[in-house]
Each structure stands twice: as structure tokens, then as C-alpha cells.
Amino acid sequence: QVQLVESGGGLVQAGDSLRLSCAASGRTVSAYYMAWFRQAPGKEREFVALIRWTTFYADSARGRFTISRDNAKNMVYLEMNSLKPEDTAVYYCAASVKHSITTADFSSWGQGTQVTVSS
């Protein structure tokens, strides 16, 4: 099983950019569908972006966020641009052996990193 550690969160203003990183160990990220999810206070965890051979985005992320991975470094990234207050959440990196946007299909999770966007 792969172990995941997120970093890069912080407090930014609306319109700013932020890059989140997910460091993987134990297994290579290329063996998995890697995703970012987020969870805002009082809300369910929701899908943001997915990558393996191609990428897939939630409507809320498409056009503003970019998911990428560096197999040599065993890292996954989420570049977030034009951030909005509604993007405020804890962001989680996750790994699955299947193409899915459902949390139940992801067996490995990081601890999360907080992103706060002020208006």
C-alpha cells in the first residue's frame, strides 16, 4: 500500500494561486489512479481531480486547477489558480487501483492540508 503526505496548503487571498504537493512512499504513484479530494467544514468530502494516463476534473476545478505527477520523484501536485473563498477546505491526496471519483474506492489517504481563501 502507498503512504501519502500532503503539503503546500495555507492562507491566501481570492484570486491567488497555490500548489499542493503529495509525496508518496511504499509504492510508485504510476501504479495508481491518484486523486485530490477536499472537505469543507460541515460538508462531505468531494472529488477535485484525478490522474493516471489522463486527467479528469470536477466541474468546480476544471479550467482553474491542474493535476500532475512526477513519477521520478513519486509526487503528485495540484496547481490551483484563481482561488475563490468557496475553495476553502482540507485537501486530501488519495490513491486507488480503479478509475473512480468515489471516496470509498480510494484505499490510501494522506492526512490532509488546509487551504483557506479569504475574500
Instruction: Tell me the pLDDT tens digit for each residue of 2-19.
Output: 999 999 999 999 999 999
Mean pLDDT across 44-49: 98
β-strands 89-96, 108-109: how paired? antiparallel
Residue 1: per-residue pLDDT: 87
Residue 68: per-residue pLDDT: 98
Residue 87: per-residue pLDDT: 98
Task: Kindly report the backbone phi and psi dihedral angles of residue 34, in degrees, each rounded to the nearest multiple of 5, phi listed first.
Answer: -105, 135
Instruction: State the CB neighbour count (10 A cutoff) for residue 18.
Output: 20
Q: What is the pLDDT of residues 77-109, one digit of tens each?
A: 999 999 999 999 999 999 999 999 999 999 999
* DSSP per-residue string spanning 80-105: E-S--GGG-EEEEEEEESS----GGG
β-strands 89-96, 113-118: how paired? antiparallel
Residue 31: per-residue pLDDT: 93
| Rounded CA separation 4/37 (Å) | 13
